[in-house]
Amino acid sequence: MQILPGGFALAVLLSASPAHAFTIERSEARYVEKHFTYELVVTLDAPIERVNEVLRNYADYPSLNERILEAKVLDRPAPGEVMIETTVEVCFGWLCRDVNRVERVQEAEYSLVAIADPTRSDVKFSETRSQLMPAHQGATRVQYVTNVVPGFWVPPLGGRRMMLKMLETETRHLFMSVERKAKQSQPDDPPP
């Protein structure tokens, strides 16, 4: 599960061109001292309120990415705090395994911070931050950063490269699905 932080200059907001579907501003995957990190800054052609709703519908995460096999809310221990459990398929070539993660998600107005409980997860460390910001003409700018130390075996030959590529590819697919779902009309919305 991922989360969003950041800010956006007013001048850019006022001078931006019309919204374009899924515009990537930054995409960087790296490996440093056992940490796999991925940062994505992207503009989604969907209103911030709808993007926020889609990201907070945790149980619906499997519809956003085929590698998310299961997602469920375990508890809401306090206002603005959610415990979720996800199962994600991680593959290194033909070798795949299911990775479970239990996370405490801290919800603010347009941000999420998810921190894994390593005693209940297949990771030694995991923190994901997502920040939503209004962009031009009803679009949403997303700043997403994830940092993971796997608690499972990563193949020594090419495993790091495959893991970084998987983080990049699957996160992009996830946010493309978020954009698509956020653009869908709600049952209460009048037809266009």
Tokens of 17: 């061109």
Which residues form the domain of 62? 23-183
Does residue 137 form part of some domain?
A: yes
> Quick check: is 40 in a domain?
yes
Q: In what order do the strands lie in the sheet with 123-134?
A: 23-32, 35-44, 140-150, 123-134, 111-116, 95-108, 81-92, 68-78
Cβ contact 35:147 at 8 Å: yes
- Residue 66 within a domain: yes
Question: Alpha-carbon distance 51 to 153, whole Å?
Answer: 34
Local confidence pLDDT in tens for the 192 residues of the chain:
444 333 333 233 333 344 457 899 999 999 999 999 999 999 999 999 999 999 999 999 999 999 999 999 999 999 999 999 999 999 988 889 999 999 999 999 999 999 999 999 999 999 999 999 999 888 999 999 999 999 998 988 899 999 999 999 999 999 999 999 999 864 455 444
> Is residue 98, in this structure, part of any structural domain at all?
yes
> pTM of whole model > 0.85?
no
Q: Is residue 5 part of a domain?
A: no
Domain-located, residue 15: no
* Domain CATH for 34: 3.30.530.20
Please count the structural domains in the chain. Answer: 1
Tokens coding 23: 């515009």
CA distance 152 to 163: 12
